[in-house]
Amino acid sequence: MLSQATLVYQRRLVSHRKLGYCLAFALLTFIISTVVLYTTVYQERITTSVIFRLVLSLDIALFPLFIFFMYRAIFSAGSSLKHAHWILLASVMLLPPGLGRLIHGLFFFPFDLPPRFFYEPTVIITGLILYKIGQAQSWQFNSTRVCLVAFISAVLISYAVAYDITKESIPWLF
């Protein structure tokens, strides 16, 4: 995706388009392999630690958004602004897994800090990035607002999954 942005910046649009066709195959491979990974890992590890349930449930909630945004990007290639907008939103949906691993690897793992506490910084940074994107665009696209609301909803759902919040566990909430 970075090479694509560089090609656009350099106004090499033919190369951008050709690479885009190649990357469509890579995208399809990425989607299929991720779905296979989630289905096998989810069943094996959903009963493990709270942090795993938090991370996995957030990733699973954000992955369909990534797919949807990439779909919209591919089919709005006629409008450079919309195409770039959808690519940007799709990229943000991939931030939590990568950013979480980066924060954990750089800060928490070397200092033997509990892995549980890298989740909130990841979520806060991603939410702030989405908010700043909306601000930078003067909230021109409703999709940015929808994306921010969907992200916050996914975070709340991840807590519900991780801590097994159900109607039976908190009847006054429902």
d(CA 125, CA 127) in angstroms, rounded, equals 5
pLDDT tens-digit map of 48-58: 677 778 888 88
The tokens describing 74, both together, are 């591919």
Q: Place 42 in a pLDDT band, splitting at 50, 70 and 90.
A: low
pLDDT tens-digit map of 102-118: 776 776 666 777 766 77
Quick one: how far is CA 129 from the chain centroid?
Answer: 12
Q: How far is CA 120 from CA 90, 143, 164, in A?
A: 21, 24, 18
| pLDDT at 82 (0 to 100) | 87
Residue with tokens 């910084």: 121
Which whole number is the average pLDDT over 54-81? 87
Cβ atoms 131, 148 nearer than 8 A: yes
pLDDT tens-digit map of 132-147: 999 998 999 899 999 9
Instruction: Tell me how far apart the 2 most distant CA atoms of the chain are, in Å.
Output: 59
| pLDDT at 166 (0 to 100) | 56
pLDDT tens-digit map of 2-31: 677 777 778 787 887 788 878 888 888 888
d(CA 127, CA 134) in angstroms, rounded, equals 11
